[in-house]
Amino acid sequence: MRIVTGAFRGRRIPSGNRLGDIRLTSTRLKEAVFSMLGPDLSGRNFLDLCAGSGQMGLEALSRGAIVELNEPDRRRLSQIRSLLYEWRAGVAGLHATKAQALIPQLDTAGRRFDIVYADPPYRACYCGEPLLLGLIAALGQSQLITEPGLLLVQHQTELDLPESSGRLTLTQQRGYGNTALGIYELSES
């Protein structure tokens, strides 16, 4: 995997056995997301809620975003930390917390984001339902996403996303093979 554009263009993000059993975002989906967001994310706050390899947050960082990454797996977080050190780059925050626990922590702390990207493991569950659905519900009830912010969720195509959740409304879904991208925006108040 490589960073597509920006300050770290061409830099490699290690993948494979070092990261364990992890599903990587396809280049096609990543390019589609950042084509939609644009090449310059300067000053925009970006939260990669389920970072994995860190590729989405690092791509946003390369484009000038103020980035926070969350990855509960300490080995993967260590890999991200090593890359940041190697690239002489900094982020606003590195978290090693389960995503469902981090949302209320950040909300209570007054953190706000223009873009939140959520791509939890597809098989992960929380309270008897797919973890992603729980994250959408929690984000919809929180104040984490600022207006006119976005919640981008990567999921398997078979998963039906809610049309709305709290402050969020599903405005688009795009398919990329067996993976899809759901785009939520803040509802009119």
Top pLDDT among 32 and 152 is at 152
* 115-151 pLDDT per residue, tens: 999 999 988 898 889 999 999 999 999 999 999 999 9
In this structure, the number of other CB atoms found within 10 A of the CB of residue 102 comes to 23
What's the CA gap between 111 and 109, in Å, rounded? 6
Nearest in space to 161 (alpha carbons), one of 188, 143, 139: 139
Please state which of the ranges 15-29, 84-98, 102-116, 162-176 shows the lowest mean pLDDT. Answer: 15-29
187 pLDDT above the threshold of 90: no
Terminal C-alpha separation, the chain: 40
152 pLDDT above the threshold of 90: yes
Q: 181 forms bridges with which residues in the sheet? A: 154, 174
Q: 118 forms bridges with which residues in the sheet? A: 153
Q: Residue 1: pLDDT band by 50, 70, 90 thresholds?
A: confident
Residue 6 sits at the vertex; the CA angle it makes with 48 and 19, to the nearest 5 degrees, is: 45
Q: In this structure, what is the dihedral angle of CA atoms 102, 106, 109, 115, given to the nearest 10 degrees? A: 180
Superfamily of domain 17-186: Vaccinia Virus protein VP39 (3.40.50.150)
Q: Residue 24: pLDDT band by 50, 70, 90 thresholds?
A: confident
**Is the backbone peptide bond immediately before 14 cis, with ω within 30 degrees of 0?**
no
The domain ranges of the chain are: 17-186
Alpha helices (H) along the chain: 27-37, 55-62, 74-86, 99-108, 131-141
